Amino acid sequence: MKNLFLIASIFVLFSSCIKDNGDSGSFLSGNGVFLINEGNFMGGNGSLSFYSYDSARIYNDLFLNVNGRPLGDVPNSMAISGERIYIVVNNSGKIEVVDKNTLESVKTITGLKAPRQISIISSSKAYVSSMYSDSVTVLDLSDNSISGYINLRRTSEAIAVLRNRAFIANWIGGKEVIVINTDNNKVIDSIEVATEPESMVIDKDKTLWVLCNGGWMRENFAELISVSTSTNDIEKKLVFPSKLSSPSCLQIDGTGSTLYYMESGVRKMKTDASSVPSTAAFIPEAGHYFYKMAVNPVNGDVLVTDAVDYQQKGHLLIYNSTGTLKSDERTDIIPGMMYFRLNSDFN
């Protein structure tokens, strides 16, 4: 139950095993979190890291160390299906398919236009959103190929999946969430939310939460919107108090009852709240430059990446459930999205 509601940004990775050069143990078989480092734009130096809860240390440059080449230009997201991990590399227009037990490259899927988020629909199918294409790419996971496209007539970003429905956000310049029937890959509805829906999660009551950031130039108020996944009707609109508010990276805890997002630090709120938090941040930035965030679904740790100046190596900051800093780990350049690999007995 703890991991059921982590649809948009957290994927639980099952047992895998790889030995780090010079390390006597197999760190990927334990509890930890994968971290995608975006690298410098046009630099082609994106990378993959893993923080091990068991050894309390971070392992960087995993893809490079195993495959003898960098991951690519701006890796953005990843997912796992069966024995394969799929890493979406945005500016390289590709998906690296790697063996989950060794991290060895199995195949490189090319020909994608600015791919962003990937969501596993079934054991044989995945959807990939796009920053610039007006279609979602459909992957055939049986042979790791592109099997088709779903024309949205608009760009796409975050994907949340529940039962046989995929909810896909039109982020850049948009204000809609498109609903797709995953059985036949058909668009069946669109939900008008607010300006630039940036991230989404699904809570314990199967309610879809959409964080709309108000636009790059802050031309509109940011909004946090809840949507019924049964009727596609908007249930609640929570408006941020200032146009200067720039919330991002909506997450949810393992119980599906507490929302987290970044806005001048990390903020949290219950799903039954009647307004967004007006008090000081749960975790203040305190001289850091917070970039991405994830919430451990088992112990409630809040993990935040610090991009520093977007040029040098960043940091992974791990806070416990009360907001106290537990660990500060050095990552590669521009540490971004995170994906947990946890055993059921982790505490």
Q: What's the whole-number mean pLDDT along residues 185-200?
A: 98
pTM here is 0.91
344: pLDDT strictly greater than 70: no
Q: Specify the DSSP class assigned to residue 235.
A: E
What is 20-32 written as a DSSP string? PTT-SS-GGGSSE
Spatial separation of the C-alpha atoms in residues 254 and 334, rounded to whole Å:
26
- 199-211 pLDDT tens trace: 999 999 999 999 9
Helix (H) / strand (E) element for 329: namely: strand 325-333
> In this structure, what DSSP letter does residue 248 have?
E
pLDDT higher than 60, residue 12:
no
- Residue 65: phi, psi to the nearest 5? -65, -35
Residues 6+ apart with CB under 8 A from 154: 134, 170, 174, 176, 178
| β 258-262/105-109 pair status | unpaired
- Report the percentage of the chain scoring pLDDT > 90: 85
pLDDT (tens digit per residue) in 118-171: 999 999 999 999 999 999 999 999 999 999 999 999 999 999 999 999 999 999
- DSSP character string of 183-213: TTTEEEEEEE-SS-EEEEEE-TTSEEEEEE-
Instruction: Of 54, 98, 46, 95, give the one whose Cα is nearest residue 73.
Output: 46
End-to-end CA distance of the chain: 15
pLDDT digits (tens, 9 = 90+) for 53-95: 999 999 999 999 999 999 999 999 999 898 899 999 999 999 9
Who's near 22: CB < 8 A, 6+ residues apart?
none
Q: Which residues pair with 202 in a beta bridge?
A: 208
Q: What is the pLDDT of residue 342?
A: 85
Helix/strand/coil (H, E, C) string of 137-168?
Answer: EEEECCCCEEEEEEECCCCCCCEEEECCEEEE
Give 100 or 210, the one with higher predicted confidence.
210
The pLDDT value given to residue 347? 60
Judged against a pLDDT cut of 80, whether residue 20 lies above it is answered with no
Measured torsion, CA atoms of residues 191, 192, 197, 201, in degrees rounded to the nearest 10: -40
Q: What is the pLDDT of residue 30?
A: 83
Of the candidate CATH numbers 2.60.40.180, 3.30.420.40, 3.30.1330.40, 2.130.10.10, the domain formed by 29-341 belongs to 2.130.10.10
306 bridge partner residues: 290, 315
Q: Give the tens place of pLDDT for each residue, 261-272.
A: 999 999 999 999
Burial class (CB in 10 A: 0-12, 13-18, 19+), 323: middle
- pLDDT above 70 (res 282): yes
pLDDT of residue 23: 43
Tokens 């236009």, located at residue: 113
Read off the pLDDT of each residue in 183-193 and give the average, rounded to a whole number: 98
Q: Where does the pLDDT of residue 218 fall: very low under 50, low under 70, confident under 90, or very high at 90 and above? A: confident
Mean pLDDT score across all residues of the chain: 91
Instruction: Note whether 46 and 71 are within 8 A (CB).
Output: yes
pLDDT of res. 346: 67
